[in-house]
Amino acid sequence: MNKIEAIDVNFYYGDFHALKGISMEIPQNKVVAFIGPSGCGKSTFLRLFNRMNDLIPGSRLQGRILIDGQDIYAPGGMEVDELRKNVGMVFQRPNPFPKSIFDNVAYGLRVNGIKDKEFIRQRVEESLRGAALWDEVKDKLNSSAYALSGGQQQRLCIARAMAISPSVLLMDEPASALDPISTAKVEELICELRNQVTIVIVTHNMQQASRVSDKTAFFYMGEMIEYDDTKVIFTNPHKEATQNYITGRFG
């Protein structure tokens, strides 16, 4: 069953044609990795799934993107904040709010109008446990999130995104600013979360893509060159460009 479906997507930043006729299907509760050289449009494509590009003036989308069979850009359809409650996002650089650890995780619940203190407390604990952060921060929930290390901050951001129980999680190079140990922890987390959510992850790290993902898409110059099972992409790609990229011959 397909969680996300992109149908002939073209995207423009003003006159710049950033995405060229991309169609793809992302199955439910699978991890899909986007790889490709810098500037090929991975982030742009990813950010279409939670309408983050709406904020960019002069940008334009053609084509349709369906999540659970519903066109998320249809006028008069779903509200954009409703969509984003269902489609969480983790960014390249950890971006906790200048608030306490607790308030960071509780933020999504609170902006969704949840007032029940006990429920919020429970959900915060669950999310922090889910992000393998609970043991490290349980004694300092009220201290600033900025006091955490970069890796801890990134896991906090994952906990924050997961607190509102989204069914899709978008991750844009979530480990690129982290040390190897933190990276391993984040990867572990992705493997644990795969049963609950559909994950789309952008990465420059081939090993990471092959370790965590079920399917992989290779992008080049705004086009999706190849999309297949991760095993196939990394062992037996059909396109030469893909072969060249994963063997490091260009990019």
Partner 1 sequence: MRRIFEKAVKWLLTASGFVTSIVILLIIGFLFTEGAGLFKEKVIEEGYVLALNRENNVKELTAAQIKAIFDEDVTNWKEFGGPDMRIEPFRLEDADKLFTEEELGGQYENAGSLIASLIEAHPGMVAFVPESMIPKGANLNFIEDRSISPKEVFAGSEWFPTATPAPLFGMWPLLAGTLWVSLFAILFALPFGISIAVYMSEVASERVRGFLKPVIELLNGIPSVVYGFFGLIVIVPLLQQVFGLPVGESGLAGSIVLAIMALPTIVTVAEDAMRSCPRSLREASLALGATQWQTVYRVVIPSSMSGIASGVVLGIGRAVGETMAVLMVTGNAAAVPSSILEPLRTIPATIAAELGEAPAGGAHYQSLFLLGVILFFITFFINLCVEYISSRNKAKNS
Stretch touching partner 1 by CB under 8 A, among 14-22, 158-166, 211-219, 237-245: 158-166
Q: What is the 3-state secondary structure (H, E, C) of 155-179?
A: HHHHHHHHCCCCCEEEEECCCCCCC
40 binds ligand ATP (CB under 6 A): yes
Chain residues 61-100 in contact with ligand ATP, contact rule CB under 6 A: none
What is the C-alpha separation between 235 and 212, in angstroms, rounded? 15
88 binds partner 1 (CB under 8 A): yes
Given 69, 75, 76, 98, the residue binding partner 1 (CB under 8 A): 98
Nearer to partner 1, 110 or 238 (CB): 110
Strand order in the sheet with 215-220: 87-90, 168-172, 198-202, 31-35, 215-220, 223-229
Q: How many residues bind partner 1 (CB under 8 A)?
A: 27
Stretch touching ligand ATP by CB under 6 A, among 31-39, 116-124, 152-160, 163-171: 31-39
In this structure, what are the phi and psi dihedrals at residue 119, rounded to the nearest 5 degrees?
-60, -45
39 binds ligand ATP (CB under 6 A): yes
* Selection from 208, 115, 136, 128 nearest residue 161 by Cα: 128
18 binds ligand ATP (CB under 6 A): yes
Give Cβ neighbours of residue 139 (< 8 Å, ≥ 6 apart): none
Stretch touching partner 1 by CB under 8 A, among 26-34, 90-98, 121-129, 206-214: 90-98
- The full length of the chain comes to 251
Nearer to ligand ATP, 13 or 97 (CB): 13
Between helices 117-130 and 101-111, what is the axis angle to 10°? 120
Nearer to Mg ion, 35 or 148 (CB): 35
In this structure, what are the phi and psi dihedrals at residue 249, rounded to the nearest 5 degrees?
-85, -15
Kindly state the DSSP code that residue 139 receives in the 8-state scheme: T
171 binds ligand ATP (CB under 6 A): no
Q: How far is the CB of 97 from partner 1 (least distance, A)?
A: 6
Task: Tell me which residues touch partner 1 (CB under 8 A).
Answer: 50, 52, 55, 57, 81-82, 84-85, 88-89, 91, 93, 95-99, 107-108, 110-112, 146, 157, 160-161, 164
Task: Tell me which residues touch Mg ion (CB under 5 A).
Answer: 43
